[in-house]
Chains A and B, each alone.
Chain A
Amino acid sequence: MKHRTFFWFFLPTALAMLLFIFLPIISVVTQSLFIDHEQVFVEVENCNFFGCNTVSVVDTEATEQLRAEQPLGRFVGLGNYINRSHLAFSEVGEAWDKSDSVGGFFNNIFNLPLYRALIFTLVFTFTVTPLLIILGFCIAIGVNSLNQKIKGFVIFFSLLPMIVTPLVGSLILFWMIDSRGIIGSSLQVLFDDPDLSLKASATLTWVTLIVYGVWHAAPFAFVVFYAGLQTVPQDTLESAMIDGASRWERIRYVVIPHLAPLVTFVALIQLMDNFRVFEPIVGFNASAHATSLSSMIYSDLDGESRLLSSAATSSVLTIIGVVILLFPVLIRTWRDWDRKY
């Protein structure tokens, strides 16, 4: 395709992304290099319905002047990246010096917010993504062989985990997995442990979140693979059958290679989405036992604290994390590209 034609075809989507994603990224990166001005306080009397007391408030006039001088705040370079809320270089160094064993060192590291979030995020990403791809693939194969008439219903019901709004879906599930809810009490019977509670222990909370993650995202993989299955070349399949290939061999040598680009696609999207896991943590009130980079950003952006630089820094780290995570997939895409053109 000519450059000129390409330009006109690509212009609308490029404009949308430039304005609403690229520019915000630039401003976020900038924000992450700055912190707020020093605040000047004054002690004043505060009176209300309940009486009077002395409080300190920000001296807005003095702060206004500082703000006018440096509209972006104080430049700190990578200061936000290495502080305790993020990469915590000095705390990690200290932990290394102080700990006498590797285990102790890791214990200290996982007490730091970013590393604690990272360990959950990585475990979540690397268990949920492969599981949901396998599950989605099996469902797609199964549904594809169903009778045409019931397919529509099966697809509809298969999509439900994805459609039921995560926010409320997790509210209802949150109740169902309660020790007195239907799933929670069934598990108690199943494991013969009347005190079993999925919410009270960290391990079980992680398991719950992972199961929810697979349940919620498997329909996505299913739909993509199902659509892909519709374009599997029938003549290849038939000739494979004539050659006496078993069902499994046909799947292994015809269907899977045909779906390979879609598997790459699903893996890309899901690695990224799972790395940014957020809604189930909020929905299951699970932040006592599991935090993620996105849930850190969420609490930084709270309307009262407004730690904008910290949120910006975590966002940039998320992007960097995703790029590292996707590197193998990117290299693969690059090779495909080279082979094709």
Chain B
Amino acid sequence: MSSTVVEHKSFPVRFFSYLFILIWLFIAAFPFVWTFWGSFKVELDFFSKENWANAITGVRTIGDTGSAFTGDGYYGAWVKEEFWKSALNTAIVCFFVVCTSLTIGTLGAYALSRSGFRYAFWLLILALVFRAMPPITLVAGYMLPFFEWGLWGHLWTTIIVLVAINQPFTLWMLHSFFKKIPKDLDESAMVDGCTSFQAFRYVILPVMWPGVITTGLFSFLLAYNDFAVTAMLLSKENQTMVPKIAGFLGTTQTEGNVMFAVAAVVSATAPLFILVMFFQRQIVSGLTAGAVKG
């Protein structure tokens, strides 16, 4: 399908398109590649004040450890500082945030996109206004009631909060995908005797995979990257990766260990790779599903 379109491209178009993607890849990935490389160096090399090229050659790393690469940052973060615990917590939080968000979000967004009444529009607008609220204010407001009711510090409290804060986004995103699916599709299913829920489950959802997966990806990224909520609402034992990494950086009065943070950041990116590969395949399968409907 799309390949037929590709074949018709002229050489200059293809050349500039590839060149553009190459430049973009360089801009997007360079800081990360730099960090990945630097995570195997000592602090004086990666953050070298003499010459940034030290981060490439590793002059001090060789001086300190005898080899141009050192796994000290990784050892420190994962073994000494037990980063794996935070990784586990992040995995739990992400999994439940994505599942819950998508479940209640697809139901709500489907309803919004299939209701012709004015209140559906106003609900969408209201959701948008809700999203305008700065998360730091929300979190500051949760603290006292959460302590009062003994909800503070638990993973599930954070999961629910992240789901709720992200609902407006999920609703809007899924709504804009749902809108593009012709109404007659589910209407004909209901004529055939399906209930609304069955029409939603067996007819709409399969067609919707690209939208759902993409929304899921963003829910995941939100939960994965969040600092404001997780730093303030989780106790130390339930800490997720990002606040843990922030903790490596030290305080005003005391020194942290920046290289632990750098190593932790690099390791925290690995699961994303797997996720994106999965995402890519789902998008493609969604594409076929979309073609069937046409």
- Give the interface of A toward B (CB within 8 A): 1, 3, 5-6, 9-10, 12-14, 16-17, 19-22, 24-25, 27-28, 135, 138-139, 141-146, 148, 151-152, 154-169, 171-173, 175-176, 180-182, 185, 215, 219-220, 223-224, 226-227, 230-231, 233-235, 237-238, 241, 247, 261-262, 264-265, 268-269, 272, 276, 278-279, 293-294, 297-298, 301, 308, 311-312, 315, 318-319, 322-323, 326, 330, 333-334, 337, 340-341
Contacts and interface: CB of A to CB of B under 8 A. Distances in A.
A261 B180 CA distance: 9
Given A165-B225, A169-B31, A171-B249, A223 B217 contact: yes
13 contacts: A1-B196, A9-B196, A10-B112, A145-B9, A152-B281, A155-B279, A160-B32, A162-B221, A172-B31, A172-B35, A172-B265, A176-B31, A311-B140
Contact of A17 (B14, B168, B281): B168
A-B pairs, top 5 by smallest CB distance, nearest first, are A9-B111, A20-B164, A13-B108, A322-B132, A341-B116
Contacts of B42: none
B269 A164 contact: yes
Nearest to B243: A167
B38 to A, nearest CB: 8
B165 A21 contact: yes
A151 B268 CA distance: 22
A148 B285 CA distance: 13
Contacts of A156: 272-273, 276-277
B154 interface: no
A227 B211 CA distance: 7
Interface of B: 1-2, 4-6, 8-10, 13-14, 17-18, 20-21, 24-25, 27-29, 31-32, 34-35, 47-52, 55, 103-105, 107-108, 110-112, 114-117, 120-121, 123-125, 127-134, 136-138, 140-142, 160-161, 163-165, 167-173, 176-177, 179-180, 196, 200, 210-211, 213-214, 217-218, 221, 224-225, 227, 241-242, 245-246, 249, 258, 261-262, 265, 268-269, 272-273, 276-277, 279-281, 283-284, 286-287, 290-291, 294
A230 B286 contact: yes
**Which of A171, A226, A312, A337: most chain B CB closer than 10 A?**
A171
Contact of B136 (A16, A219, A301): A301
A334 B129 contact: no
Nearest to B227: A167
A145 B6 contact: yes
A272 to B, nearest CB: 6
A9 B245 contact: no
A20 B27 CA distance: 38
A298 B136 contact: yes
B47 A175 contact: yes
A16 B160 contact: yes
A294 B134 contact: yes
Contacts, number: 273
Given A165-B242, A318-B134, 18 more contacts: A1-B116, A6-B111, A10-B123, A12-B103, A13-B108, A16-B163, A20-B161, A22-B130, A139-B20, A145-B2, A164-B35, A167-B242, A167-B246, A219-B28, A238-B4, A247-B13, A315-B133, A337-B121
A155 B211 CA distance: 16
B211 A157 contact: no
Secondary structure at chain A's binding surface: helix, strand, loop or mixed? helix
A185 B249 CA distance: 25
A159 B272 contact: yes
Given A13-B105, A22-B130, A219-B28, A28 B137 contact: yes
A241 B55 contact: no
Contacts of A297: 134, 136-137
**Which of B116, B165, B276: most chain A CB closer than 10 A?**
B276
Nearest to A150: B21
A9 B108 CA distance: 5
Nearest to B109: A13
Nearest to B19: A142
A217 to B, nearest CB: 12
Contacts of B134: 276, 278, 293-294, 297, 315, 318
Contacts of B18: 142
A204 B131 CA distance: 31
A294 B138 CA distance: 12
A224 B210 contact: no
Contacts of B165: 20-21
Nearest to B130: A21
B225 A10 contact: no
B167 A230 contact: no
B239 to A, nearest CB: 14
Given A230-B287, A337-B121, A168 B261 contact: yes
B119 to A, nearest CB: 9
B286 A152 contact: no
